[in-house]
Chain A
Amino acid sequence: MIGQALDRVDGPAKVAGQATYAYEHWDDGQPLYGFVVGATIGTGRITRIDTARAERSPGVHMVMTHHDTPAQGAPDLSIPFEYWRAFPVLSRADVRHYGEPVALVVAATFEQARAAAPLVDIEYAGEAGSYDFAACRHQAYAPDSLIYGMIPTDTAVGDFDAGFDTAPVRIDERYTTPYEFSQPMEPHACLVEPHGEDLIVHVSSQIVDAARASIASTLQIDPERIHIVTPYVGGGFGSKLRIHHETILAAFAARALNRPVKVALTRQQIFHLTGVRPTSSQRVRLGAERDGRLVAIAHEVTMHTNRHEEYIEPTATTTRSLYAAPHRLTRHRLVPLDLPRGEDVRAPGEAPGLLAVESAMDELAYALEMDPVELRIRNEPELDPERGVPFSDRHLVECLRDGARRFGWESRPAQAASLREGRWMVGYGMAAAIRGHLQAPTKVAVRLQADGTAVVRSDMTDIGTGTYTILTQVAADGLGLPPDRVRVELGRSEFPVSMGSGGSWGATNSCTALHRACEALREKLLATASNDARSALHGLDPAGAAFVDGGVRIGGASETLSEIVARNHPDGVEAEGETLAMTDDPNYQDYALHSYGAHFAEVGVDADTAEIRLRRMLGVFSVGRVLNAKTARSQLIGGMIWGVGAALEEEGAVDPRSGAFVNRDLAQYLVPVHADISEVDAVVLDGFDDKANVLGAKGVGELGICGAGAAVANAVFNATGVRVRDFPITLEKVLPGLPPMDD
C-alpha cells in the first residue's frame, strides 16, 4: 500500500467544489467583509488619517486604523521559528514598507468594502527610504542571530584563503538572484467567527499550531480560546507558514463588531504582505586541481532584509554538505532595506543558493574542459565535509549517472555554442540537487470504530501536496484495511499537534507518527482480543498476528476488527503516535541526512532574438522510500518547473522611488505557462533511508527546485556561450552575446 500511486482521496471533493476553503465557509450566518488599505509610500509616517468619508460610504460598518487597535503582544524573538511569534498590525503611525496595511474597511459586501477603501483620507510625511539593493550592498552586516534559531550563519573549515590561492584552477564569480514570491493560487484569506470569548478562525495556513500561537500572543488571549480550521489549503509555498495581517485584522474586527468577518488579500496585495524571497548577491569561489578535485570552496551570500524584521535565508547552508574540499567557508550577510519582510519561499536557501553554486561548478567544468557530470562525481565526499559525520544514505552519484544515461547526456555538445538546429542554438545543461531532510515533533491519532473503519486525526495540513492520501495509505498499511475504510481528518487545532506542512517535513513527520500510532493500536487490539474469552483469538500468542483485509489472523484463527472493537470498545479505540524533534533524535547527531537529485535540461535559444525555450528536462532523485509514487512525482515535477521559472522568468521589480513591487500581478510577474514546459520527467530511485525514520522516507516537496534552475542556466550557456550570472536570464542579457545576423 505504501508507495503505490493511489489517486488523491480528496480529489473528487476538490473537483466537485465540495472541498471548502477558508474564505468559502458560511456556517455562522452572513459575514462582513474586510478590505485592507495599504500604504502608498515606502518609508515615513502617517500624519493624519480621516475615516469619515469611508465610514459614510454605503454598507460600511467600521474603519479600523492604528488609532483603534487594541493592545497587542510583541514578537518574542526567543521563539526559534518566527511563525509562532506574535504579528502585531496597525500598531504604529510609521510605515515600514510600501503596501503595509494602514487601515481595514469592514462592510456588508466585499465590493462595498473595496469601494470605500480609497475614501480613507491619509496624509503621509514621506521619508527617503533605501530600496536599491545593489546601491546599499556596502551596508551589509553580519547578523547576530542563528538561522531559524539553530543554524550558524558562518562556517569555516581548513584555511580557505590559503587553499584557494594555491589552487591551479580558480573560479571567482558573483551571482545575483531577484525578489521572488510564493503566490499560491488560493490567496491568503480567513473568516473569523466570534463565539463569546472564543474565536473560530477559518484560515488558509500551513501550520495550525503556529497560527493559533501567533494569533493568541498577538491578541493576548488564551490559545485554548482560538479554534483553527484549515482542512483545505490551496497552496502555500512558505507564505502560509505564518499568519499575516489579514488574520489578525479579521480577528480584531470580528471581536469589535461581534460578527463573523472575512478578509482576503487581493493578488496585488499578496506581493507586499506575505513575505518575499530576499534578493541576493552571492560570491562563489572554487579552487580546484587540474583533475577537477576541489581544494577550496567558498559561498558568501549577501541578501536584503527588512530593516526592522530580520530574516536570513539559509542560502549557503547546503553548500556545507554538497562537495568535498579541505578548505571551506560559508557566510550570510544582510543589507537592511525598507522593503517587505523576507520570508521562506519554497526551498528557502537551496533555490537561490544552488543557482549560484551549480552555475559556478559548470564554469569550473568548462575551465577544466571536463564533463560537468564527471566533475561532480570527482568531488563526492565520503563524510559530511563540515561535520565529519557519515551520510545516512547518499546517492548523488547514482542520480548523476542514471540521469546522464536516461537523458542521453553523451550527445551533449562539449563546446558551447556549437549545436544549431535551424534558427535555434541548442544546449544541454545539468546540475546536482541536495536538500536537508528535516524532522519535527508531530502527533497523530488513529481511532478504530465499531464498524471497522479507521479515523486518522492530526492538526497536520494538506496544502495540495497529498497528505490526505499518504496518511490514508499508511493507516491502511498499518491496520490491514482497504483504503476506502480509512478517513483522514486534518487541519483543526483540536486534533493532535503537528508541525504542519513546511520544510518538506510534513509527509515524513506525520506518516511516521501515524505508523507508530497504528503499531500502538494493533498492540491494544491484540491485548484486548487475547484476553477476551469471547474472541476467536483468545489465549493465542499475539507475536504471530497478521492484520489483513480488515481482520486479525493468528495461525488458523481469525476475527474481524469490527468484531473486536464492537465487543470491547463500542465507542471505538484510539492510539497516538509521535515523531521526535531533530534535537531528540540521535541520528541527527550521528549522520548527515539529505535527499539528492540530478537535473538535466535541453534548451533552444533563438539565434536572432535570444528567446529561450526549454525543450526537455529530466530529474533523477533519491528520497529514500517514496510514500506515493504519484504525489511524489507531482511535487518533483512542480519543483522542477519552479526552477525553470527561477532561471528564466521570475523577478519582482522594485520602483526605485516608492519601494513598491511594480509588476504585482500574475500577468506581469511571470511564471512558466504550459507552453513553456514541453517534456518534463522525474524519476525516483528505489531506496530506503533507515536513519531517517521507520518508514525509510525523506522529504520530497522542495527537492525538485533545488538545482533545477542551474541546469537550465547551464544549458543556456552551452547553447550560446553567454554566461548570465544575473537571474533571471531574460533575453536582453543574452542578446548582446549572440552572433551577428547572417543571411
Chain B
Amino acid sequence: MRSFTYERATDARGAVAAVSRPGAKFISGGTNLLDLMKLEVERPSHLVDISRLPLTDIEELPDGGLRIGAQATNSDTAADARVRTHYPVLTQALVAGASGQLRNKASVGGNLLQRTRCPYFYDTAAGCNKRDPGSGCSAIGGFNRIHAILGVSDACIATHPSDMAVAMTVLEAQVELLDADGSARRVAVTDFHRLPGDTPHIETVLRPGEMITGVVLPPPPPGRQIYRKVRDRASYEFALVSVAVIVATDRGTISSARAAFGGVAHKPWRSVEAEAALTGHPAAMATYRAAAEAAMRDAVGRGHNDFKIELARRTLCRTLAQAAQATEAG
C-alpha cells in the first residue's frame, strides 16, 4: 500500500472541493477501495472520507418516488419499509450481495462504483487494460469463467459486479451527481456505466471530482418485481448471471415488461430486445424463450464463460414465468 493523506469531509461542497486535488479519491465504506489499495491496484495519494456526510436519508418524493442518499448503507436501504414494499427487486438484489458485515459498511454510492472482480485486474503483475491502459487483456486467452458475454471489446471482457445496480436499472433509477463547481446533474443509471470499447479504464460518465449524492427511484411501475441471482455458492459470492424483471400481465398477455441482466457485461445490461419480445405477447414459455433468444442474440463466450449464454437464457425464462404467474395470481 502506498502512503496517503486523509481528510474527513463535513459537507458535500467541501468534499468535492477537497477531491479536486490530483491523486485524490473519495472513500465511503471502503469495502472495495481499501482492498484495491492494499494490492496497489488503486494508488490514491489523498483520501476524502465522505462516509459521515449527511447523505444517509431515504426520503419520499412528491411524485411518489424515493430518493436514497449516497451514504445510506446497503443494509439500511434493503431494510427500508418503503423499499421493501414498493421496490422489492432492490431489496432482493441488495440482500443477495456480499455478506451482512459488508452490507453494513457498503454505501449506495460505493456500490455503483465498485470495480470489476476480474482476477487479472487484481494482479498487478498481469497485463490489464483497465488497470494499466495499453498493457493488454490477460482474461482473453486466460481464465475467463466469470467474464462478460455482451457488449465486450477486444480491450476488455470484464463484468460490472453489482447486484444493486441491476435492480436499479429495471427501476429506471437516476443517479444524482454533484460537480466540483457545485453544479448538480442527474444521469439515468443505464447511462451511468459505460461499455469498455477502447477505454475500459473509463467505467462511468462521472467527471473527475464528481460525487454521487443520491439515487432517485421514480414511482414503481406496475407489475411484479423479481431479482434472481445465480451463483456458485449460496452466499458471499458474486453473480455468475443475475436477472431483474418487472412484469405486468393482463388476462394472460404481458402488458409491460422490463428486464436486465447482471454478470454478463461491463455494465448492468438492460435488454430492450427481450422487453420488445415480451410486451403484447402471451405470458407463456414460448414467449419467454423468444425473449431469451433476443436478449442473447449478440452474446459471445470466450471459452470458460460460454455456459453463461444458456444460463442467462434459462434464468430469464424462469424468472419471467415466476413473475407472470404471480401477477396473474393476484
B1 touches which of A115, A613, A654 (Cβ 8 Å): A115
The answer to whether A662 touches B232 (Cβ under 8 A) is no
Given contacts A732-B307, A732-B311, is CB(A676)–CB(B235) below 8 Å? yes
The chain B residue sitting closest to A663, CB to CB, is B119
Q: A118 near B142 (CB under 8 angstroms)?
A: no
A655 at interface, CB cutoff 8 A: yes
Name B138's contact: one of A608, A653, A655 (CB within 8 Å).
Answer: A655
Check if B240 is an interface residue, CB within 8 A of chain A.
yes
Q: Which residues of B contact A672 (CB under 8 A)?
A: 233
Question: With the chains together, A423 CA to B122 CA distance in Å?
Answer: 37
A735-B310 contact in complex given A118-B124, A743-B321, C-beta closer than 8 Å: yes
> Is B231 located at the chain interface by the 8 A CB criterion?
yes
**A660 to B315, Cβ gap below 8 A?**
no
Question: Taking chain B's interface residues, is the majority helix, strand, or loop, or is none over half, making it mixed?
Answer: loop
A interface, over-half SS: loop
* Whole-angstrom distance between the Cβ of B17 and the nearest chain A Cβ: 29
Say whether A115 contacts B2, CB under 8 Å: yes
Nearest-CB residue, chain B, relative to A674: B235
Check if B8 is an interface residue, CB within 8 A of chain A.
no
Q: Could you give, for residues 136-169 of chain B, a 1 whenever the CB lies within 8 Å of some chain A CB and a 0 otherwise?
A: 0010011101000000000000000000000000
What per-residue 1/0 map shows which CB atoms of B1-36 lie under 8 Å from chain A? 111000000000000000000000000000000000
Knowing A676-B235, A742-B285, the reply to whether A608 touches B143 (Cβ < 8 A) is: no
Q: Can you list, as one digit per residue, whether each of B261-274 has a CB less than 8 Å from chain A (1) or not (0)?
A: 00000000000000
> For B2, what are the chain A residues with a Cβ–Cβ distance below 8 Å?
115
Kindly state the separation between the CA atoms of A593 and B138 in the bound complex, as whole angstroms.
50
Most buried by B among A731, A736, A742: A731
Residue of B232, B240, B307 with most chain A CB atoms under a 10 A cut-off: B232
Measured CA separation A237–B125 after assembly (Å): 29
Nearest A residue (CB) for B40: A118
**Hey, which chain A residues are within 8 Å of B143, CB to CB?**
653-655, 662-663
A-B contact count (CB 8 A): 94
Q: Is the CB of A731 within 8 A of B1?
A: no
> Which residues of chain A are near B311, meaning CB under 8 Å?
609-610, 731-732, 735
Complex Cα gap A613–B126 (Å): 34
Q: Which residues of A contact B237 (CB under 8 A)?
A: 670, 673
- A656, CB-defined interface residue at 8 Å: yes
Say whether A667 contacts B117, CB under 8 Å: yes
- Residues from chain A with a CB closer than 8 A to the CB of B125 are 40, 660
B187 at the interface (CB under 8 A from A): no
Quick one: which of B213-229 are within 8 Å of A by CB? none
What's the Cα separation between A701 and B117 when bound, in Å? Answer: 35
A658 in contact (CB, < 8 A): yes
A608 touches B307 (CB 8 A): no
Q: Does B318 contact A (CB under 8 A)?
A: yes
**A47 CB within 8 Å of chain B:** no
Residues of A within 8 A of B123 (CB): 660, 662
Complex interface residues of chain A between 570 and 597 (CB less than 8 A to chain B): none
In the complex, A132 has a CB within 8 A of chain B? no
- Is A670 within 8 A of B233, CB to CB? yes
Given A658-B126, A668-B119, CB of A731 within 8 Å of CB of B233? no
**Does A10 have its Cβ within 8 Å of any Cβ on chain B?**
no
State the CA gap A622–B233 with chains docked (Å): 31
Contact A611 B317 (CB under 8 A): no
Q: How far is the CB of B114 from chain A (nearest CB, A)?
A: 13
* Interface: A145 (CB within 8 A): no
- Which residue of A118, A608, A611, A667 contacts B231 across the interface (Cβ within 8 Å)? A611
Question: A741 to B233, Cβ gap below 8 A?
Answer: no
Bound form: Cα–Cα A743–B124 in Å: 48
CB distance from B150 to the nearest CB of A (A): 18
Tell me which residues from 679 to 723 in chain A have a Cβ below 8 Å from any Cβ of chain B: none
Q: Are A741 and B314 in contact (CB under 8 A)?
A: yes
Residue of A nearest to B2 (CB): A115
- In Å, the complex CA distance between A611 and B229 comes to 11
Give the complex CA separation of A391 and B235 in angstroms. 44
Give Cα distance in the complex from A89 to B66, angstroms.
61
Q: How far is the CA of A350 from the CA of B138 in the complex (A)?
A: 36
Given contacts A118-B124, A662-B120, A667-B117, contact A608 B318 (CB under 8 A): yes
Cβ contacts A to B, 26 pairs, < 8 Å: A111-B3, A423-B318, A608-B317, A611-B230, A611-B231, A654-B143, A657-B141, A660-B125, A660-B126, A662-B120, A662-B143, A663-B119, A664-B119, A665-B122, A672-B233, A673-B235, A675-B233, A675-B234, A676-B233, A676-B235, A730-B232, A731-B232, A735-B311, A741-B288, A741-B318, A743-B284
Per CB-CB distance, the 10 closest pairs between chain A and chain B, nearest first, are: A732-B307, A675-B235, A675-B234, A40-B125, A608-B318, A662-B143, A653-B143, A743-B285, A609-B230, A673-B236
Known A611-B231, A673-B235, A735-B311; further 5 A-B contacts with Cβ < 8 A: A649-B232, A673-B233, A676-B233, A676-B234, A735-B310
Interface set of B (CB-CB < 8 Å, partner A): 1-3, 40, 117, 119-120, 122-126, 138, 141-143, 145, 230-237, 240, 284-285, 288-289, 307, 310-311, 314-315, 317-318, 321
